[in-house]
Amino acid sequence: MTKLTLSTLSEASAKVLQPAYDPTAVEIGVVHFGPGAFHRAHQAFYFDALLAKDPRWAISGVSLKSPGVRDALAPQAGLYVLAQLDAETTFRVIGAMREILVAPEDPETVFTRLAKASTKVVTTTVTEKGYCLGGDGKLDFANTDIAHDLQHPQRPDSVIGYIVEGLRRRREAGVAPFTVISCDNLADNGHKLRDAVVAFAGKLDAGLGEWIKANTAFPRTMVDSITPATDDALRARVTAETGFEDAWPIQREAFVQWVVEDVLPADAPDLASVGVTLTNDVAAFEGAKLRLLNGAHSTLAYVGSLKGYETVGDAMADAELAGFVRSMMLEDIAPSLSTPPGLDIPTYVEAILGRFRNPEIRHLLSQIAWDGSKKLPFRILETTADALEAGRSVDRLAVPIAAWIGFIATRTEAGVPLVDPLADKLAALGGACTGGPEDVDAFLGLTEVFPVSLASNTTYRTAVKDAYAALSRA
C-alpha cells in the first residue's frame, strides 16, 4: 500500500487520472472558505482542469472551524483522489489545493493570503448558516459570530468578517478587490453575500462599505453534483482501485455543473474554458435546481427517513415514494419556475430522478436532512408561497414539511442529536410532540423558518396538518 504524495504519483495505476500540470509549479490565485467534500469534488475539480492551461489558479483552502481537512491532507501535500461514480467509475488525483489553513489557529496568515495581489478570487462553501442571515435574508447583527467580529475584526469567526478584513487591507494597500464567488445552495447567493459584506463593512467604516459595493464583483452562481460523505467503504475502494492510501478521498456522481453570472472582471479565471456556464440568467438555473433537485432531495430525506430508508437509492426503490416525488416536481414545483433557455423541464426532471437512482451513489438521507431549518425555506417554502399566490394546490408541498416535523420528533425521542443551527429549539419542540395537530401549530410558530404570511395561511396550515396526520398513520 502506497501513501498518496507528490513523490508517489508516478506509481499510480494506469486507470488513475493524474494532474496535467506540475503541482509544485503553480501559483495560488484562489482562496476558498470551507474546503469540505463538496468544494473538493466541485470547484477544485474545475480549477484542477484550469491549471493545465493556466498555472495561476491553485487554491488556498481555509477552514473556519476544524483542522480535520488540513491534518488529513497536509501529509499528502494537499493531494486527494476524486472518485466519479457512474456506470463507469473513474479515479482522478486532484492537485489544485496547494495550501490548507485553519483560520482560528492563525488568522493573520489567512489575511496575508487574502491581501496578496495574486489572489484574484475568493470562493465559499460554508452552507446557508455560514452567511449569518436573518429570516429576512439580510445580515443578522444579533448573530453571535457577527457581534463578535464587529468587536474583534482582526480575529473574526465568520466568513463575512474574513472577507471584509481582507478587502479592507487590499483597499489600504491600493490593491484591487478580489472577486467573491458564493458556491452555496442559497437563493440569490452572490447578491445576498454582497449585501451582508457591505452591511458589515459599513458598520466598521462607511467608506469601506461604499468601496466594496462599487468595486467588488459578487456573481450569483448555481452549483450541482451529488456528493455523498466519505466513508470507510470509499477509502477501501480507492485503495483497491488506485493502489494509494488516501486519508480523505472524495466521491461524487459523474454529473457536475457550475453556472456563474457573467460579471467576472477581466483578470478573472477563464472558467468557461473548463465547462463552467456563464450566463446573465443564473436565477432561472438556480430556481430549477434549488426547487426541483434540492426540493426533491429534502422530500426524500424526511419522508424516506420516516419510512426507515437509509439512502436516496433506497428511497427511490419505493415506487410509491418515487412516484410522489416525480408528481410533486412536475405538477407542483415546475409551474413556479422561469425556464432558462435550453432547459426542458420534463427532461430535466427525469434526469434528476435517474441521478437519484444511480446505484454507485450511496447518499445518506441523514446527511441531506441536516440543517433543515435553513434549507427548507429555499427548497420548499418559496415554492409553496408561489403556489398559494397562484391558487394552486399545496397538498403535496406540505408533505416534506410535515415529514420534517415527524423527523425532528422521532430523532428527539430516540435521543439522536440534531444537526441544525436551531437544534436546541427544534429538540424542545420535538420533545413536546404528541402526534397531533398541535405539533404543526408549534413548528409553524418558528419565525426563523416560516414567514408569518405563510404560517398564518389557513389553507397551508390545514394542508400541513392533514399531511402530518397521514404520515402518522402510515
pLDDT at 434: 96
**Count of structural domains within the chain:** 2
392, 334: one domain: yes
Please tell me whether residues 172 and 47 are part of one structural domain: yes
Are 41 and 137 in the same domain?
yes
* Domain closes at, from 237, 253, 279: 279
Which residue, among 355, 354, 363, has the nearest Cα to 309 in the 3D structure? 363
- With the C-alpha atoms ordered 346, 350, 353, 355, is the resulting torsion angle positive or negative? negative
Q: Which three cell numbers stand for residue 390?
A: 397562484
DSSP labels for 315-376?
A: HHTSHHHHHHHHHIIIIIIGGG--PPTT--HHHHHHHHHHHHT-TT---BHHHHHTTHHHHH
**CA 58 distance to own-chain centroid:** 21
The CA distance from 161 to 22, in Å, is 34
Half-sphere exposure (CA, 13 Å, Cβ side) for 98?
A: 22
* Residue 399: per-residue pLDDT: 98
pLDDT score, position 472? 84
Do 274 and 324 lie in one domain? The reply is no
Q: For the domain that residue 33 is a member of, what is the CATH number?
A: 3.40.50.720
Do 83 and 182 have their domain in common?
A: yes
Q: Can you give the C-alpha Rg of the chain in angstroms?
A: 22
**Would you state the cell numbers that stand for residue 233, as one nine-digit string?**
467503504
Query: What is the DSSP secondary structure assignment for residue 306, as one 8-state letter?
Result: H
* The pLDDT of residue 195: 98
Task: Measure Cα distances from 177 to 152, 171, 213, 218, 265 in Å.
Answer: 22, 7, 11, 11, 10
Cβ pair 363, 304 in contact under 8 A: no
425 and 336, same structural domain?
yes
Cell numbers at 181, concatenated: 464567488
Please tell me the predicted confidence (pLDDT) of residue 113.
98
Output the pTM of the full model: 0.79
Name the strand (E) or helix (H) holding 285.
helix 282-287
Same-domain pairing of 274 and 287: no
Are 135 and 19 part of one and the same domain?
Answer: yes
DSSP state at residue 276? P
Picking from 9, 8, 25, the residue whose alpha carbon sits closest to that of residue 17 is: 9
pLDDT for 186 equals 85
By three-state DSSP, how is residue 252 classified? strand
Same domain, 105 and 253: yes
* 78 and 134 share one domain: yes
What sign for the dihedral angle of Cα 371, 297, 241, 82?
negative
Name residues of the chain where pLDDT drops below 50. none
Cell of 302: 424526511
Distance CA 435, CA 404 (A): 13
**What's CA 401's distance to the chain center, in Å?**
20
Which CATH number does the domain housing residue 383 bear?
A: 1.10.1040.10
pLDDT at residue number 237:
93
> Of 229, 252, 279, which one is at a domain's C-terminal end?
279
Other C-beta atoms closer than 10 Å to the C-beta of 165 total: 24
Residue 269: in which H helix or E strand, if any?
Answer: none
Whole-number pLDDT of residue 286: 83
- Do residue 248 and residue 298 come from a single domain? no
Structure-block grid coordinates of residue 326: 416525480
Whether 293 and 266 share a structural domain: no
Max CA pair span of the chain:
66
Phi and psi dihedrals of 261, rounded to 5?
A: -60, 135
- Give the range of the structural domain holding residue 373, as residue numbers without chain letter: 283-473
Q: Which of 226, 256, 279 is the last residue of a domain?
A: 279
